[in-house]
Structures are given as structure tokens and as C-alpha cells.
Amino acid sequence: MLGLSYILVAAAVVLETARAHTVITYPGWRGNNLIANGTAPEENPDSRGVDYLPNGTYAYPWGMQWMYPCGGMPQTTNRTLWPVSGGALSIQPGWFPGHSKAFFYINIGIQESGQLAPPNMSHTVVPAFQVTGPTNNEYPGQFCLPQVGMPANVSLQVGQNITIQVVEAAQHGASLYSCVDITLADNNDPGIVEVTPDNCYNSSDIGFNLLFTTSSLTATGSTSGASPVSAPTTLGILAVTVLMMVGAVL
Ligand SMILES: *[C@@H]1O[C@H](CO)[C@@H](O)[C@H](O)[C@H]1NC(C)=O
Ligand SMILES: *[C@@H]1O[C@H](CO)[C@@H](O)[C@H](O)[C@H]1NC(C)=O
Ligand SMILES: *[C@@H]1O[C@H](CO)[C@@H](O)[C@H](O)[C@H]1NC(C)=O
Ligand SMILES: *[C@@H]1O[C@H](CO)[C@@H](O)[C@H](O)[C@H]1NC(C)=O
Ligand SMILES: *[C@@H]1O[C@H](CO)[C@@H](O)[C@H](O)[C@H]1NC(C)=O
Ligand SMILES: *[C@@H]1O[C@H](CO)[C@@H](O)[C@H](O)[C@H]1NC(C)=O
Ligand SMILES: *[C@@H]1O[C@H](CO)[C@@H](O)[C@H](O)[C@H]1NC(C)=O
């Protein structure tokens, strides 16, 4: 009996993981929001994404991670320390099917003195970029940005609380949200979890592309009159150029 229930629990964990989405592996995250529960979407025409049940609990038939701004998780108090001038960020992008390509947006919300929480998550700290994964099914692996900087035009103090928001837009445009609440610390604070090759690495089967605007297409000589055949070639060359630039820019 024990054996069977262990197997059932293990199966449930695997199922839950397989249905899940982004995870911030460094510096941490608000908590497990890899949860889809309640009545299945196809039997739940009245769902607004989060269902308020009569007994006072919530259900997320589509999954918690689709809830703006932090994937259904309220602000936490078990904050982790992170360097005041910015630090490492590790993300597992492939927890959910549909992410062989995904756009990422990394923002912070700044809690000013007297505020209970950040007023918004509108400070972008990394230019939007695209991740390419090995498959459109779930896949393991992570990427790490070893030095995410802080915006130059905001003043952040040691001891201040901020929230890092990671947004992953899937191929159909739906976005998954995950956050981690941090307290800014002196860059050399020994309480900051050390960044090592074990917690900050790029899996070899995850690639990167930068986003570029259509004005950069004309700027590099592509014309709006390009034939349908030559246009993709131009795009292909641009994509290669962008790929080569990405290491320098990110
Ligand atoms: C905060 O606590 C939750 C619930 O125990 C946990 O899942 C999460 O990883 C913790 N976050 C940090 C940054 O330690
Ligand atoms: C609330 O109701 C839902 C739907 O009936 C049920 O699945 C859930 O376990 C209940 N939760 C509590 C805390 O009673
Ligand atoms: C669904 O999961 C959330 C997050 O764990 C939980 O708060 C909620 O009670 C669950 N709802 C049901 C109906 O089990
Ligand atoms: C930061 O958050 C922690 C945990 O919630 C809290 O104890 C502390 O007072 C906050 N600090 C500031 C400056 O708001
Ligand atoms: C977001 O919050 C910052 C303070 O952190 C504020 O200066 C800014 O005006 C807000 N932006 C928007 C779009 O509300
Ligand atoms: C900081 O600069 C960025 C980029 O120029 C701008 O979008 C943002 O509104 C500025 N934020 C503040 C608080 O001035
Ligand atoms: C992972 O790849 C990105 C994009 O090329 C790069 O900026 C980052 O430094 C790499 N991370 C590590 C740990 O090498």
C-alpha cells in the first residue's frame, strides 16, 4: 500500500511538473506556481482564468502562471538577498509545451519607502530576447544571465525591497509570469547566495535571439519592395548577424 501511494504521489508530481512553466532557479522564486487545478477549461465556460470557489479557495483551470503580474503568487516575506547593482538570474524556460521559441522580458518593480509593494513592474532590466529550445514539448535545462544590471535612471539603496518579474511569452502570445522578492544587499554581502557553475549555466540546447524592429530592416538595406523569395533570405542573414551579436549585448 505504501509503495502504491508513493508511486501515485510521484506520478502526481511528475504530472504537475509536466504541466508547468517558468521557474526562476536563481536567486529564487515566490513559490510553486506550477499549478493548474479546478474544473478543466473545456468544461468551464464561465472561467475568468481564476475561479473563486464558494468555500473561499481559488482554482486556476488554465494554470496559475498566466496571472499578471506574478503568476498568481502574492508578495512574499521570505526575501532573498541580491546585489544592489544587479546580479545573476537563472531561468528554466521549458516547463510547458509550446516553448521551442519563447520571448522573455525581465523587469523589476521597485518598492519605495512607505509603499507595501511595488506600484508596477515597469522597469525593464534586460532588452527583450528570444530563447530557442530543443523541442516544443517540455524540456529540461536552463539559462543564466550572470550580470543583470539595474536601470541607470533609478536610485536603489542597500536594504530596499524590489521584485524581479520574469515574463515568458509562448508562441501563441500567452504570457507566463514568475517573480522573486528580494532585498538589495551590498555587492559583497556574504548573505548573497554564491553564483557558481552549478546554479548559473546555459544548457547547450537552449539558444538566444535578440528582437529587432522593422526599422532596422530598412536600415540594413532590405526594402519593402523585396520579392517574397529574397525577403526570407535577407531575414535569414539578419538572424545570423543578430545571433552573433547576442553574446555581446546580453
Ligand atoms: C519562500 O517560501 C516558499 C514557500 O515555502 C518557497 O517555495 C520559496 O522557494 C521561498 N522563496 C525564497 C526566495 O526563499
Ligand atoms: C473547496 O472546494 C473545491 C471544489 O469543490 C474543492 O476541490 C476544495 O478541496 C475545497 N477546498 C477547501 C479548503 O475546502
Ligand atoms: C489550487 O491551487 C492553489 C495554489 O496552490 C490553491 O491555493 C487552491 O486552494 C487550489 N484550489 C483547489 C480548488 O484545490
Ligand atoms: C523588506 O521586506 C521585509 C520582509 O517583508 C520587511 O521585513 C522589511 O521591513 C522590508 N524593508 C523595507 C525597507 O521596506
Ligand atoms: C512605475 O513605478 C515607478 C516607481 O517605481 C514610477 O516612477 C513610474 O512612473 C511608474 N510607471 C508607470 C508606467 O506607472
Ligand atoms: C528610465 O529610462 C527608461 C529608458 O529610457 C525609460 O523607459 C523609463 O521610463 C525611465 N524610468 C524612470 C523612472 O525615469
Ligand atoms: C548564457 O548565454 C547568454 C546569451 O548568449 C549570455 O549572455 C550569458 O552570459 C550566458 N551565461 C553563462 C553562464 O555563460
Q: What is the pLDDT of residue 165?
A: 98
Through-space distance between the first and last CA atoms of the chain, rounded to whole angstroms: 52
- Report pTM: 0.82
What residue ranges line ligand 7, CB within 6 angstroms? 143-146, 200-202, 208, 246-247, 250
Closest-CA residue to 36 (of 10, 54, 15, 22): 15
| 63 conformational bin, left if phi > 0, alpha if psi -120 to 50, beta if neither | left
127 lines ligand 6 (CB under 6 A): no
- Give, using CA atoms, the residue closest to atom 7 of ligand 6: 123
% of residues, the chain, pLDDT over 90 = 63
User: Is there a domain that residue 51 lies in?
Assistant: no
- Give, using CA atoms, the residue closest to atom 1 of ligand 1: 78
User: Is there a domain that residue 8 lies in?
Assistant: no
What DSSP element (H or E) covers 7?
helix 2-18
User: Is there a domain that residue 120 lies in?
Assistant: yes
- Give, using CA atoms, the residue closest to atom 4 of ligand 4: 77
Range of the domain at 131: 68-245
User: Is there a domain that residue 1 lies in?
Assistant: no
**Of ligand 5's atoms, which has the minimum distance to the CA of residue 112?**
5
User: Is there a domain that residue 45 lies in?
Assistant: no
User: Is there a domain that residue 62 lies in?
Assistant: no
Please identify every stretch of the chain with a pLDDT value under 50, giving residue numbers as ranges: 1-21, 219-250
- Check which CATH number belongs to the domain holding 129 and give it: 2.60.40.10
User: Is there a domain that residue 234 lies in?
Assistant: yes
Tens digit of pLDDT for each residue in 150-209? 998 999 999 999 999 999 998 888 999 999 999 999 999 999 999 999 999 999 999 998
What's the rounded Cα separation, in Å, for the pair 104 and 91? 10
* Total count of domains within the chain: 1
53 lines ligand 2 (CB under 6 A): yes
User: Is there a domain that residue 141 lies in?
Assistant: yes
39 lines ligand 3 (CB under 6 A): no
